[in-house]
Structure formats: structure tokens, C-alpha cells
Amino acid sequence: MPTMTEKIIQKHLTEGNLERGKKIALTIDQTLTQDATGTMAYLQLEAMGVDQVKTELSVSYVDHNTLQSGFENADDHKYLQTVAAKHGIYFSRAGNGICHQVHLERFAKPGKTLLGSDSHTPTAGGIGALAMGAGGLDVACAMAGRPFYLTMPKIVKVELTGRLNKGVSSKDIILKLLSTLSVKGGVGKVIEYCGEGVKTLSVPQRATITNMGAELGATTSIFPSDEITEAFLRKQQRSEDFVPLCADDDAVYDESYTIDLSTLEPMIAMPHSPDNVVSISEVEGKPIDQCSIGSCTNSSYMDMMSVAAILKGKVANERVSLTISPGSKQVLNMIAQNGALADMIASGARILESTCGPCIGMGQSPITNAWSLRTFNRNFYGRSGTLSANVCLVSPEVAAASAVSGVISDPRKVDYELPQEPQEFIIDDRCIIKPCAAKASEVEVIRGPNIKELPMNQRLSDTIEKPVLLKVEDNITTDHIMPAGAKVLPYRSNIEKISQFVFRDVCADFAQRCHDNNGGIIVAGSNYGQGSSREHAALAPMYLGIKAVIAKSFARIHHANLINFGILPLQFVNEADYDAVEEGDVLRFSNLSMLKPNEPITVDNLTKGTTICLSHSLSELDITTLSYGGTLNLIKAEQNKQN
């Protein structure tokens, strides 16, 4: 009676059992990294002294930091290419496509575990893989053959019935779910899709849904592997990778929901959260300034074909800047060959390279006070690079229809020809460099001057006495903590430099405060650290001397990243204590060497003369890791013992 998740976990389990909420460890079959998190991950792999990766497959993608306005990003790419060749890792060159789109096309396999240093790794759940995002250090550990630790998630069933109407897309399915469950609704859970409606969705449509499961905070999301999956793999010339996967009929779930696809309408997530969803009819007619189509959520061949069909013979409205980034070289090649790209170009669309681009603020920041419609997955405050912009998330059909009219538009009212599924995909893997074990020893790893040494934390002291340097509200994202964008991303391999940007748009003098107080404590509301997997949101605060984060609750990946870098993640037991604590209060943590799993701790607020009760969800291993000042210190200590 197992679910799909339980079947895959059972096969990969190295510690623990399927009891919900308990720690488990899994073997990882495949890993992926991208260039914004990859440099750190490979520096960590090198620090572990690993020669060749131990996974079945590891791929390093270049897709985020592709704007080369200085030498930094190009140097990182060279490092990534050479370090991949040295350690047995496939290397997908800049221009070959967005990691999740290319991985879905060329590598992801049903029934396998995939760990990626990017929060949208669950995209591969669309093909039936158990695909999870993690910090770069966890991915480096997986490449080194170490298991991946996580909390056994609850399993949620989402039954899809009916069929989508023309103009309604799989993006609207996940936006609907986000409106029901919120950005916290998936924390600690895997979302499994089933039902007759699943059969009406192609693998890339399924992948749009599992991709944005990350916005629910879910550990991952997964679809069955069925005849649709088999056909997709066959068209990708990967028939041998097909294995069937579905939940047993009597599988038991922790929660369940039903969505009737035939009743859905186009939806839109309003600023500044992916769960701030309304139906398009509520905002139809609002003038817009920008439409950006692409990202790992919506850049598949069929997405591009729908966009081209809507744009055909028309021109983008004069007030709208329209950008299109096809998700991969495969997609770009196909639309170039069948003429769809010509329709896009004729419409005045600005065709961008097959990368993340505007999604991560790598260019195309909209005008002041803009209304920008994007087919992406995140519209967090400031992420576009224009703080005053109003970014909304929509389907490709809504974006294309609105680009033409210049106002938010319902694609159901537009006359366009529905595209046909391709008979086959163009297969050309020449931009993916295969590692050659025989030549690995001859490879010289090239490091540019911006690639600095990894900073290490110190061991945890028994007593910490530090001020609260910042108090923030609920749902703080990693974009708040460690902003991205074209100006900051080039410093992803230079922690000293990037740490100056921590909390830039929330508290401009945060780095200075840390410096003046020789570090301190952060206090936060619920779901702290939601969003990306970027470990820089833990590593850079660690570098600034942050010792602990006390929150109402944490997002999964960020919680793990804090532990990896030796920052204590603690939780308020009483809401009133969150309300009472203020910036500047000095807190004293005592007896930290006595920290035990499941045992609450007390902390003295020396300024207020009060005592605060805190809980945590740290395992024995987490506590040991923290005591060493992080995972790398612990691994090094283990290695020293063995030698």
C-alpha cells in the first residue's frame, strides 16, 4: 500500500524508517548544480578530498550568472568546467539551457533520487523522480557518496480530474494550489499527483507543477511515470530510462485534495508572493509595462509554441517590453527550425539566451513602478532588480495575450491555433561535455582571482552572549537575506564581498551592525528562509558572525543550511516571546554543550530581565555538526581520525 514517495524512499533508505517527522537518510543517484551555487559546492567537494564523484550521474550547469559585465562570472564558468572534468561530472555549457529544463529532457529518470543545489530541482518530479533541492554543501556530500539527511515528510495526495480548457494551462493548476495551501502549506510534505486528469498532461506540463511545488515550501512533488512519460522518453531517445511508477490503489496519504481541471480559469499571482493568487478576471484590463516569458517553470517547447501561436501576425503593444527566453538549446533549435521563432521575432519580442535571465534579476529589470507579467515562479519583493516594480506570475498564454493587448488579458478570449505535441525532439548533446576518467588526472582546475577560499566557522561555544541585530516578520525569503541580481551574483564565490549585501533591502546597515557588535542574533517570524536553496543566505551571515536565528518556524532547505554552517536554528515556543523581544536586546545562551534532541532550552534576555523558552528540531547528528561549527569541520575531523 505504499505511495510513490514511499516506494522510492524505501529503495534508497540507509537510515531510519517511513515514520513521518523522523530523520531519515537516503542514497542519492543523481546530482545537479548550477553556476550560482555550483562554485561553492565544488570548492566544498574539493575540500573533502574527493577524487571522482560517487553518484550514478552528476551534472554541472551554467545558466544563472551568464551576464559577463566583468571577469568574475566567466572565471567561475571556467572553474566549473575544469573542476567538472577533474571529478567525473558532466558539464552543460552556457547557452545549453536552464538546468531543470535540460535535466528533464536529457537526464532525469523515473524512480531515481536527484539532489540539486537549486530549490527548483523538484521539476524532475514531472518525470517521476524523487528530486529535491538542497544547499551546495549537501549536494557536495552526495557527490562524495554520503547520504542525504532529511525529515520523513508527510505525503499529500492531489487528485486531478477533468481536462484543461483552451487558454488554461498547467501553471494555473499550481497557482490554484498555491492559493489554497499558501507558501507555507507544503513545508515538511511531498505532494503526489494522481487521477484521470494526470493522463491529460504532458511531462513538461507536469514539470511546471512540480517546479512550483517549491513555492509551496514542499520537500518535493511527484507525478506517476506512465505511458505519457514513456512517450516523452522515447521522443528524447531515452526509452531505456523508462520504468513505471504509481502509488498502490490503497496507498494511505496524510492529506488529500481534488482539483477539477475543467473548472479552472487563468490565474495570476499578484505582488509580492506566489500565493497571492486571484483569477485573471479580477484584474483584466490593467495596463502593463513588461512581459517576460521563460524560466525553469515555463520554457518548454509547447510553452514556446503556444506563445508563438498567440503572437503570430501581431506586434507587442508599444508600452510593453516583451522578452522570451526558450528553456534550452533543444527548445530553441526546434522553434528555430519550425518557424515559431520567426513569429516571435516578428512580434518585436526581445529573444534572450536560454538561461534564467530576468528570473534571477540578470538584466531586464523593469521600469520604475512597473507592472510586469512573468511566467516565472517567484515574484518576491525586489527580485526583479526594481524595488518599486509590481511583478505578477502568469502562464505563457496570459503573458503572450497581455503583451499584445498591453493590458492584463484572458487568453480564452484570443483566437489562436493550439500547437501540436512534437513527434520527436531534436537531440544534440554536443554542448554537454562528458567527463573522461582516463584524462581526469591531467586536468588543471583553473581558479580566477574572485574565487576565494571557503570561510570556516569556529566550534560552538558553551555560552553565547550577543545582541539581537535584526527582528523580521513572517515569510522572509532568501532573496531578502541574500539578494541576487546582476550586481551581487558575481560574488557568489567571494564570501567576504557578498556578505556586505546581506539584508541589503531590509536593513541597509546590517553588515555594519554585525561588524560593530562582532556578530549577533537574528529574530524572525514563521517560514524564515523560504524560497531558494542558496546556502549563501547562511554562509554570509555566518561570515558576519551570526550565531543563532530564533524564528517561529523555518523553511526546510534554509534550516539545513544554517546547521551546515554552524548557525543555531531555534524556535519560539510562545508567540508572546517573539512579540516581546526587541532589536538591541542582549540574549545569553548557556550550556549549549548540553543541547539534546527534543529538549527545549531557555535563553536569558539580559536587557529585559526575562527568560525565553525555545524549542528546536535538531537530531543527534545536527547537534554534533553544530558543535563542530558546521558540516565541513565535522567531515575534516572524521577524516583526521581515520588517518
Say which residue the cell 526587541 belongs to: 582
Residue choice 100, 154, 176, 534 for contact with ligand MIC (CB under 6 A): 534
CA distances from 240 to 26, 233, 243, 428, 506 (A): 24, 8, 8, 18, 50
Task: Tell me the Cα Rg of the chain.
Answer: 24
Judged by beta carbon distances under 5 to 8 A according to partner kind, the member of ligand SF4, ligand MIC, none in contact with residue 537 is none
Query: Which residues, other chains included, contact 63 with Cβ-Cβ below 8 Å and sequence gap of 6+?
Result: 34, 35, 92, 94, 97, 98, 99, 354, 355, 356
DSSP H or E run through 560? helix 556-564
Q: Closer to ligand MIC at the Cβ: 119 or 221?
A: 119
Task: Tell me if residue 226 is catalytic.
Answer: no
Q: Which is catalytic among the residues 76, 118, 410, 622?
A: 118
Q: Closer to ligand MIC at the Cβ: 321 or 532?
A: 532
Q: Does 547 bind ligand MIC (CB under 6 A)?
A: no
**Cis-peptide into 272, omega within 30 deg:** yes
Could you tell me the smallest distance in angstroms from the CB atom of residue 358 to ligand MIC?
Answer: 12
| Pair type for strands 586-589 and 23-26 | unpaired
Q: Does 120 bind ligand MIC (CB under 6 A)?
A: yes
Q: Does 532 bind ligand MIC (CB under 6 A)?
A: yes
Q: Does 273 bind ligand MIC (CB under 6 A)?
A: no
Task: Tell me if residue 64 is catalytic.
Answer: yes
Distance (Å, rounded) from C-alpha 618 to C-alpha 246? 33
Task: Tell me if residue 118 is catalytic.
Answer: yes
Could you tell me the smallest distance in angstroms from the CB atom of residue 498 to ligand MIC?
Answer: 11
Distance (Å, rounded) from C-alpha 450 to C-alpha 444? 18
Distance (Å, rounded) from C-alpha 184 to C-alpha 218? 8
Judged by beta carbon distances under 5 to 8 A according to partner kind, the member of ligand MIC, ligand SF4, none in contact with residue 504 is none
Does residue 564 sit in helix, strand or coil? Answer: helix
Could you tell me the smallest distance in angstroms from the CB atom of residue 377 to ligand SF4?
Answer: 5
Task: Tell me if residue 532 is catalytic.
Answer: yes
Say which residue the cell 511531498 belongs to: 190
Judged by beta carbon distances under 5 to 8 A according to partner kind, the member of ligand MIC, ligand SF4, none in contact with residue 554 is none
CB atoms within 10 A of CB 181: 23
In the Cβ-directed half-sphere of 572, how many Cα atoms lie within 13 Å?
Answer: 20
Distance (Å, rounded) from C-alpha 409 to C-alpha 402? 5
Q: Closer to ligand SF4 at the Cβ: 296 or 524?
A: 296
Q: In the sheet that 30-34 helps form, which strands lie side by side, from edge to edge?
A: 130-133, 113-116, 30-34, 57-61, 90-92, 432-433
Judged by beta carbon distances under 5 to 8 A according to partner kind, the member of ligand SF4, ligand MIC, none in contact with residue 534 is ligand MIC
Judged by beta carbon distances under 5 to 8 A according to partner kind, the member of ligand SF4, ligand MIC, none in contact with residue 295 is ligand SF4
Interface with ligand SF4 (CB under 6 A): 64, 98, 118, 120, 295-296, 356, 359-360, 376-377
Residue choice 59, 360, 540, 568 for contact with ligand MIC (CB under 6 A): 360
Task: Tell me if residue 51 is catalytic.
Answer: no
Residue choice 119, 236, 292, 633 for contact with ligand MIC (CB under 6 A): 119
Could you tell me the smallest distance in angstroms from the CB atom of residue 120 to ligand SF4?
Answer: 5
Among the residue ranges 465-473, 501-509, 528-536, 591-599, the one whose residues contact ligand MIC (CB under 6 A)? 528-536
Q: Tell me if 443 sits within 8 A of 497, measured CB to CB.
A: no
Alpha helix positions (H), 118-202: 136-143, 170-181
Task: Tell me if residue 29 is catalytic.
Answer: no
Could you give phi then psi for residue 68, rounded to 5 degrees? Answer: -105, 75
Residue choice 3, 30, 37, 225 for contact with ligand MIC (CB under 6 A): 37
Q: Which is catalytic among the residues 12, 77, 120, 378?
A: 378
Q: Which is catalytic among the residues 29, 63, 275, 622?
A: 63
Instruction: Give the binding site for ligand MIC (CB under 6 A).
Output: 36-37, 64, 118-120, 133, 360, 484, 531-534
Catalytic machinery residues: 63-64, 118, 378, 532, 534
